[in-house]
Amino acid sequence: MSKQPRSLHGKVIAITGGARGIGKATAEALSRAGAVVAIGDLDADLAAEAAAGLSGNAIGLALDVTDRVGFSAFLDEVETQLGPLYGLVNNAGIMPTGNIDLEDDATTTREIAINLHAVIHGTKELIRRAKPRRSGHVINISSAAGKISGAGVATYTATKFAVVGFSESVALELDATGVDITVIYPALTKTELISGLKELRGVPQIEPSDVADAIVRSFQNPRFNVPVPRAMGAVMTAYQATPWPVRAKAAKVVKSDSVISEADQSARAAYEARVARDVAANRE
């Protein structure tokens, strides 16, 4: 007999990078499922606007996930306004593109800070709050790139592989604590992050709502590995089990060796410029 899905009614769930793309779609889907949603985003006005479109007591607040003190304060404020935090979706991420030898150190540092260090910090914070209550769930957004490498996104790929390894270790620590952890592996998702990229052969591009629905299902029926679409699971498993020379040849077939170099750079210009401004504003 299958387990009854967990009700999300009244559960407080925070989402990082929740004002756009996958994060916004997730906020909408969780709200429809009865959760009380807190959106955190660098763009405070956009976060507030996204929250205003949701039912219930949803809130939208400013959040720079690389500011550890600020990230913790954001979660404190969520609990002050909405009540004990049940779930956290570590969704915020960036994907600047280009060959690694052309990537400056500030870009590398910022990407690792957002895509990995913030995931680690957010996971710690959720567990510290949820463990005493023996109830909670953190969902970390990796990517199909967390299992399948691609050229032109070396640092991004490294961070997404790292999120997987980190989450696997944490899963072992959480056994029998009442706190769950899930990793979501979206294929190329139609957001600003993949603007200008062509489809990979045999790998369909998906909608943010597809990922959002998988996140809701993961809260309701906890699983550790959740590829989106589900068929990507077999692809990722086969890729990981294959020797490197074969994987390198497969990359040429599916075009993961050239999807970035062949991207429409004019279509990516606005996204890359926004990432560059963020990097410049936080240059050490």
Q: What does the pLDDT average to over 131-145?
A: 97
pLDDT above 70: residue 80: yes
Q: 5 in a domain, yes or no? A: no
Which residue type does 139 have?
Answer: I
Question: Which pLDDT band, with edges at 50, 70 and 90, does 138 fall under?
Answer: very high
- Length of the chain, in residues: 284
**Residue 231 in tokens:** 């068929």
Q: For position 220, which CATH number holds? A: 3.40.50.720
CA distance to 7, 14, 84, 257, per residue, from 77 (Å): 24, 11, 10, 44
Which residues carry out catalysis? Answer: 156
pLDDT above 70: residue 32: yes
For 166-213, the pLDDT digits (tens) are: 999 999 999 999 999 999 999 999 999 999 998 887 777 999 999 999
Q: 6 in a domain, yes or no? A: no
Q: What does the pLDDT average to over 85-113?
A: 97
Q: 109 in a domain, yes or no? A: yes
Of residues 79, 65, 68, the one with CA closest to residue 13: 79
Q: 55 in a domain, yes or no? A: yes
Q: Residue 68 has what pLDDT?
A: 97
Number of domains in the chain: 1
pTM for the model stands at 0.95
Q: 181 in a domain, yes or no? A: yes
Q: What does the pLDDT average to over 112-127?
A: 98
Question: Which pLDDT band, with edges at 50, 70 and 90, does 228 fall under?
Answer: very high
pLDDT above 60: residue 1: no
| Range of the structural domain that residue 182 is part of | 12-281
Q: 4 in a domain, yes or no? A: no
Q: 7 in a domain, yes or no? A: no
Question: Which pLDDT band, with edges at 50, 70 and 90, does 284 fall under?
Answer: low
Is the CB of residue 169 less than 8 Å from the CB of residue 140? no
Q: What is the largest CA-CA distance in the chain?
A: 55
